[in-house]
Amino acid sequence: MMEETLIGVIGSSGFIGRKLCEQLIKKYNVRGGQRSPRYADANLSTNRISWQYVDVFDEMSLENFCSGCDIVINCAGPTYKIGDRIAVVANRNGSDYVDIFGGGYLEYQLYKECIEGKNYKIFAAGSMPGFSGIALKWLISKFDIIQKIKVYEGSFEKSGISACEDIILSSVKNFGLKDTYVEDMKYIRKGLEQESVLIPGVPEPVYCQYYLTQEIQHLQKKYSIPNIKVYHMNSNQKLADMLSQACFEAVFSEENVRNNAMKIYSLLNDMASKKETWYAYVVEAEGIIGHQLYQKRLVIRAKESALINVGVLESVLDEIVKREKNYGILWAYDFVDAESVMQKLSNEGIIKYYLTDIVEKYVQEVEEGEL
């Protein structure tokens, strides 16, 4: 079944798209698509992959690319400019669709435009959103009743211009709620003082800000979590200020989004070339197991998030191929088996993680994922 499946990867010349193609050709036939005239990758010389020009803003070009594909993956960006263009054409062709980014913004468009069709539309299938929900779902499964969660997520790593655009545009496209957390099932708006703090499992001091993504909001409602705080971590105040200013400007006009994204991209990649990069996802959870109250801490580390994106996308694809053809518009975290994804990423050396019991002010190790 896998060997007969044709996967179309739009954005195959990008870092994540290229890495994904390298993985997929081990078990699938792949059609790599991009707008660059020199789209063939000489390093992927195998009869399992073909290359095709595609322009996501040209419907006929998209039709030609999607035709014959069993599954179409969007690794191109920015998501907020592409919207549901690819999904609509893929759905019309009867192809399953997977988007590395997206969120409530894309979910709304999918329900509006792609409600027909016996195929899957899976979105938020990257690192954040995507793995952020999968890891949290995995930890929640360790409890009988979950009462309180704190999440610390962030990274210091290189990025692409489209990814920077998506970060800026997320501020005006309802990707999440800034300065917001949940307390006793109520949404509370409150800012944090900008001071550098040390978080267990994070390699350097960071600045934190409350940020409740739509993925976490969706998960909070699904599992009825009464108290949840998500802290977005940033290790550089200058970068944080530049990003805040770009997001503020985007609220009033999207005219300068590209230019601001290029400035952030330039600063971030210059900084990331001068010191070691990192990705960290730390969760502290409190709840009932059996009849006892437990506090647990999950620490997940990686050198970068790019390969996490690839691992999550691959897991989603494998799950689609494995299941019977069906209909579904789903968040990636809600579609895949969390335990399987955690083990896959750990076994492949993409992440290192450990789960501990928090006992007063010291930590006793109870489960380890090869940290």
Instruction: Judge whether residue 362 has pLDDT over 60.
Output: no
Radius of gyration of the chain (CA): 20
As a dihedral over the C-alpha atoms of residue 131, residue 132, residue 133, residue 138, rounded to 10 degrees, the angle is: 80
pLDDT category of residue 366 using cuts at 50, 70 and 90: very low
Which of 198, 194, 192 shows the shortest CA–CA distance to 210? 192
**Which of the residue ranges 73-82, 218-227, 360-369 has the most confident prediction, judged by mean pLDDT?**
218-227
Give the separation between CA 272 and CA 267, rounded to whole angstroms.
Answer: 9
Q: What is the pTM of this model?
A: 0.91
Average confidence (pLDDT) over 215-221: 96
Per-residue pLDDT tens digits for 110-156 = 888 877 777 899 999 999 999 999 999 999 999 999 999 999 999 99
Q: What is the pLDDT of residue 282?
A: 97
Q: What is the pLDDT of residue 38?
A: 55
Least confident of 19-23, 54-58, 140-144, 357-361: 357-361
Per-residue pLDDT tens digits for 182-209 = 999 999 998 887 778 999 889 999 989 8
Distance, CA of 134 to chain centre: 10
Which of 126, 70, 132 shows the shortest CA–CA distance to 100? 126
Which two structure tokens, joined as six digits, stand for 295? 């506090």
Give the separation between CA 149 and CA 151, rounded to whole angstroms.
Answer: 7
Instruction: Judge whether residue 161 has pLDDT over 50.
Output: yes
Q: What is the pLDDT of residue 23?
A: 93
Least confident of 64-68, 162-166, 262-266, 290-294: 162-166
Give the separation between CA 179 and CA 121, rounded to whole angstroms.
Answer: 31
Instruction: Judge whether residue 238 has pLDDT over 90.
Output: no
Q: How far is CA 240 from CA 19, 111, 205, 284, in A?
A: 29, 34, 14, 24
Q: What is the pLDDT of residue 44?
A: 67
Give the separation between CA 319 and CA 158, rounded to whole angstroms.
Answer: 30
Q: What is the pLDDT of residue 324?
A: 74
Angle at which helices 131-140 and 338-347 pack, to 10 degrees? Answer: 110
- Would you list the DSSP string of 253-280? -STTHHHHHHHHHHHHHHHHTTS--EEE
Instruction: Judge whether residue 367 has pLDDT over 50.
Output: no
Amino acid present at 202: V
Report which secondary-structure segment, H or E, holds 74. Answer: strand 71-74
Query: Which of the pair, 237 or 173, is modelled with greater confidence?
Result: 237
Q: Which residue has the tokens 């999918």?
A: 110
Q: Residues 131-304+349-369: name the CATH superfamily.
A: Dihydrodipicolinate Reductase; domain 2 (3.30.360.10)
Q: What is the pLDDT of residue 359?
A: 67
First-to-last alpha carbon distance for the chain, in angstroms, is 35
Query: Which of the pair, 47 or 289, is modelled with greater confidence?
Result: 289
Q: What is the pLDDT of residue 195?
A: 77
Average confidence (pLDDT) over 148-173: 86
Q: What is the pLDDT of residue 192?
A: 80
Instruction: Judge whether residue 89 has pLDDT over 60.
Output: yes
> How much of the chain, in percent, has pLDDT values that exceed 90?
58
Domain 2-126+306-336 classification at class level: alpha beta
Q: Which residue has the tokens 């929640």?
A: 140
Per-residue pLDDT tens digits for 39-76 = 556 566 678 999 999 999 999 999 999 999 999 999 99
Q: Where are the domains of the chain?
A: 2-126+306-336, 131-304+349-369
Instruction: Judge whether residue 364 has pLDDT over 50.
Output: no
- What is the 8-class DSSP label of residue 96? E
Per-residue pLDDT tens digits for 296-353 = 999 999 999 999 999 999 999 999 999 876 778 999 999 999 999 999 999 999 999 9
Q: What is the pLDDT of residue 100?
A: 94
The answer to whether 134 and 255 have CB atoms below 8 angstroms apart is: no
Q: What is the pLDDT of residue 97?
A: 95
The answer to whether 53 and 31 have CB atoms below 8 angstroms apart is: no
Average pLDDT, the chain: 88
Q: What is the pLDDT of residue 370?
A: 45
